[in-house]
Structure formats: structure tokens, C-alpha cells
Structure 1
């Protein structure tokens, strides 16, 4: 089991004082000190997670917001971390796979082979239309088709010397990417929900993020659905003679008593009703990682049994929640599971 953590960004975590101060600075020209508050906060959390045995971080992308851009953020974080894999989010329809292939190989080199990518179709038309110059597609089937072409071009440029492709959205003619990634190809994560998208992920991606109804009280129902969907996705991948990793995103609430944990979860659900951005953080409760340390360890062990091999976690407050999880839950997990805390060892500079 790999333990991962969301890089704290304005839209990925519940508001807390340091991030609120960072958001005020980010939205005001000329405000802030020499070191950006939001970046320093994220770097400190990732360093703390690395020390606790976390081996991967997701750097999400929010174009319509005060968030620092994910590729810029990940490049800077690569110099403030040592072993952690850095999974950068990218939106087909805003960036081209040709550009992403080049940027990904660059980040993989800079980080010593620690780059991965998370492909996200997106849900915000205004975001895709503004930054993708009219890139929003109304049809989920069309978005899945574009994602499929994106993956094929990305993988082709990473693995072939004279790659050609002609599709509805992208065209490449006998192209070669002179810059080679250390890992070839870097791993591709995706979270598509449509039948077309899920089939594509099983055929061409490395890790699929399972989904759930965003309510911690529906843990048993969510577990039953996830068990079936994970088995189906692994079977689809096996049909292509591939193995598919399974990721799960979760907001963790760890408390001394179940009543206290549930009270915090209820308050988090209320927070999630403030806006669609607040709902992004709150929906992670659907994984059901709400309870005492023993209950959390039991549920994570159950997830491992049904095929989940990568957890992507967030906490509130981030630093305190992470420290509590590392102290109270991780030791219990190590008694039950093999935790991959080694992450990726940096290669020599001349490797």
C-alpha cells in the first residue's frame, strides 16, 4: 500500500488560517513576502509527509482560482522533496499532449525520475473555455474520446522514435521527442467515470481512482460498489494483458472516539455546502475514513483486500491531521500491511 497526500492548494483543502492568508496574498497584486506563503505551506506539508513514510503527492490543477499553476508548483516542489513521486494534474482541452510530453519529461529529469501525471477531463465549462480557448465539450463521450487520443499521443511520444497519429482532436506526423524521461514512460493516473473513459483507462493508463458517493455514512454501500467496480476494471485491464493499479482519494478524520469523529465529519459536510470548491474537499469523506485509529486501520486493510494499492489523503488542519495520522494510524497499518514508504530513490545527476 502506498500512502499519498494531496498537496495543499487553495481549492483542495478546507480553509485554515495559513491558507486563508495565502489566498488573500495570491489575489492581491504586490502582496506577500519574498517567499510565497501558499508554496511554503505546501512544501512544508510534503516534507512532513515524506518523513512519515508517504511516497506520493498529487499536485492538482485549478485554472480558475488563486492556485499556483500545477506544473510550476510541482517543479518547485521537486527541489524541496527527496523521494516522493510528484503526480501533476493536466486537463485535456487546455494543454496538448505534445506539450505535456515535453513538460513531463523535463520534470522527470529535474526530479530524478519522480514524475507522474494525473489526467482530468474537468467539470467546469468556464475553466476549459477560457484557458482552453473554447475547449469545453458538452458530451461525456466526446470528452472520453479526447482523453483517449491524449493518452495515445502522450504515450507514443514517450516511447516511440517516429510516432504518428491522426485523430479528431490531435494529429502527430512521424514525431520524435528528443528529451527522454528517466522513467519510460512515466506512470499515468486517471479517474474517468464514463464507460468509454473506464475502458480507456483499463487499456492505456496505469492507475485508476475509484469513486464513491460523498457521504461517510454510506461506507458499507460505497465499499460494495467499489469492490465490484475494481474487480471489473482489473478484468478489463487483464483483457489487454495489463495490470491496473487502484487509487482512492479520501479526507481523513481520526479522533479518540467515534462520536467525536462523526461530529467533525458532519461539520465538514456542512462546510462542503458553501460552494462547489468547498465540496471538492468535503467529498473525500465518502471513502469512510472517519473514526478511531483502529477503525481507520481496519478500513484501510479492507480497501487493500479489494485491490486499492494507493491512498491519496488530506486532513484538516493539514499539519496536525497528518501528524496525528502518522502517530496513531500508520503504526497499526504496518502491523497489517506492507507500506511502501521507500518511494522513489533519486538517481545520480548524471544518471
Structure 2
């Protein structure tokens, strides 16, 4: 049977990779009940479909390059069990891809939960639904109670990325091989694997990862187009970005884009924004759930003093969008902070808010004009024409 003449595009043309905007923007974690915040305030997202369609279309309309979901399979316990409700990300991406025209739509998943042969087929399918706008956010997987739901044991840290390395090799092999292919590794043994159609994007869709450890950074440098890095002060961020990019070039001859994750609390004045942060995060935050999460993250520590200032600071970071960099203040303050990150070498940011509708409106009405003036974004008419 002859091959169908599928329409193809170059992966390099993906909005999140080729946008004329100096600083790329992605709407992050809207598919989770509560977004990325562990709080009981009413304005957090609810993870219902009509809301997802509205937010995605609004993000596309105001010029965001991508929608990136979070993968969760159960909540974090505590007082309100935050993040217990979530929309699965491959099917979420398929639905939203059919209802949008320009924005990149990503799926986020844990490697132990999706076999690479299945993932290759699903990703290609969504890429066809979207017309070549799909992307993958690959997570090695670390929460044992979630992995146990799939009968998967939690592996040692570096071994998780060794598994992810084989996983990525298999999906890329399937996307680029005509006919059957085999793969014999330490963790996967695949015989006569086959996948058609190939993705619309060639050689395959954009991939990103959030690994911040040496093993995680090596995985991203080898397989991904983008990596999320923890944001510190501008000087440390610049040093970190330069080191990651240099490592990717030296080891694999690849250019790796570095993104951050930010949580925006914007108000007319810095004082009003700080008061809103105090209300949502400090007063209404689920400190019990944050304690549970810190306990998992520090499982190998013999004792954890949850009343110490250091641990309380970490717990606040968990409540505030899981350590997303706090961008709190007036529009001018927030744009100045973003420009510092851009000047430090970050090429974009995945953004969360307490109220996603309000956040996108604030971006369109006040933040975008300031970002244009700062040289971070192009005027909306130019961005739309280039999409």
C-alpha cells in the first residue's frame, strides 16, 4: 500500500521555538483543579472543560506561544487534598488542538505511565489533529503513591533518567523509521515496533523537560529542545543558564533553550499585590499538604524540622505553585523582574496565576504593552501576522 502524502512542517517552526517575541510565554497547569497553587480560595481553576476551552482560546488570542498542562494522578493530602482533580493531558491536548489554530498545545506525562510505543502513536495523532502544533513535556516521575497506581516502583533518581533516555530513543526511532524497528535496552525490549502516521512536525514534535539535577539536565540536553530551570537571583540565573547551554553544546552539539516557571500576582500597586499574595498563599494555603509534599521530597532525611525557617520557606514555595518564581507587584515591577530574567538568558517562562482569567486579561491590558516597551514582546498585530 502506498504512503499517504501527509502534510509536514519543520519542528523549528513551532510557535514556542520560532516566535518573533524575544521572551516566550506559556500558560501552565490550567488543567489542574487549583492550578499549581495549594490554596482554598475560590478563584483558582476548577478543571472543567468549558473553562479549559475558554482559557486556551484566550491565551491564543492574547499571543501566548503555548499551553502546558501538569500531570497529576492523585492529590497531595492535607486539609483540602489539593490537585486531586485533573484532566489527563494527552486527551486534553487532543481536544484543545481541535479548537485552536496557532498556539502550541503540550501534553505532560510521567515516563512510567505511558509505554513509548503507545506514546509515539498518541503524539503523532495529536500532532495531526493540531496541524503540527503538539509538544511533549517529559517527566521522569518521582511520586511513589502515583507510580504505585500503575504498578511501577519508584526507582533511584539517576536510574529514572536512564529509563527516560531509553524511552525517548524508542519514540524518536518510531517517528523516524519507515517499517518495523527493534530496540533492546536495559529497561525496554521492543520487537517489530511500527507507528504510522509519522508526526506532522519533522523530525518530531518539540520536547521539553524539567529536570534540574545533573542527570535531568543531561537527559534534556540529549533529547529535548527546552528545559525548565529553577530561577534564583539574576546573577545566579545567568550562570546557571550559561552552564546548561554550554553542557548541551559540548556533549551533544545541540542548542537547548532554557525556560523558567513564574507565578504572577499582579495588582495596581506593589502593596496591593503583596496583600493578595498574603491572602491566597500565606492565609489560605494548605500548609498540611505542603508538609506532606516536603516529607516526600526529603524522604531520605532522618529528621525534618517543619517549624524551622528554612523548611517553612520551602513549604511556602510548595503552596505557591510548587516553587514557581514569585512575580508579585505592580505591572511595572513584574515586567522589570521578567526583563531581569530575560537579560539573564532565559528565553521564556511558563506562567501560573491564582485567577487565570484575570491573569490573562491583565497580561493583555497592562503587561503586554509594558513588555513591548521593554523589548520582550512584539506588538500584537506583528505577533498575530507571524503566527
TM-score for the superposition, normalised by structure 1:
0.83
- The one-character-per-residue Cα deviations of 1:223-265 (angstroms, maximum 9, x if unpaired) are 3332222111100111122111112111101112212222222
- Among 164, 169, 172, the alignment partner of 1:147 is 164
1:265 and 2:277 equivalent?
yes
Conserved 8 A contact 2:211-2:220: yes
Equivalent positions of 1:236-255 (< 5 A) are: 236-239=247-250, 240-255=252-267
Does 2:137 correspond to 1:118?
Answer: yes
Structure 1 counterpart of 2:72, from 41, 56, 62? 62
1:319 counterpart (340, 357, 361): 357
Structure 1 spans left out of the alignment, 5+ residues = 24-37, 213-218, 346-351
State whether residues 3 and 54 of structure 1, in contact with CA within 8 Å, keep that contact through their aligned partners in structure 2: yes
Tell me which of 227, 230, 240 is aligned to 1:208: 227
Partner deviation per Cα, 1:136-155 (whole Å, 9 max, x = no partner)? 32410111111111111122
Q: CA deviation at 1:156?
A: 1.7
Query: Alpha-carbon deviations, 1:60-101, whole Å to 9, x = none?
Result: 221223322111111111122221100100111111111111
Question: What is the deviation of 1:18?
Answer: 6.9
> Which residue of the other structure, out of 156, 172, 175, is the alignment partner of 2:190?
172
- Residue 310 of structure 1 corresponds to 348
Give the aligned length: 320
| Runs of 4+ in structure 1 over 6 Å off | none
Q: Quick one: which of 374, 380, 385 aligns to 1:336? A: 374
Task: Tell me: CA distance 1:267–1:62, structure 2 relative to 1, closer, same or farther (3 Å).
Answer: same
Is the contact made by 2:321 and 2:352 (CA closer than 8 Å) also made in structure 1?
Answer: no
> SS at 2:120's partner residue?
helix
Unaligned runs of 5+ in 2: 1-22, 75-83, 294-315
Query: Do the aligned partners of 1:250 and 1:286 also contact (CA within 8 Å) in 2?
Result: yes
SS of the counterpart of 1:312? strand
Find the aligned partners of 2:186 and 2:384 in 1 and give their Cα distance.
Answer: 42
Q: Cα distance 1:141–1:173, how it changes in 2: closer, same or farther (>3 A)?
A: same
How far apart, in 2, do the equivalents of 1:147 and 1:285 lie? Answer: 23
Equivalent in the alignment of 1:27: none
Task: From 218, 241, 245, give the equivalent of 1:234.
Answer: 245
Give the Cα–Cα distance (whole angstroms) in 2 for the partners of residues 101 and 284 of structure 1. Answer: 29
Q: Which shifted more, 9-18 or 289-298?
A: 9-18
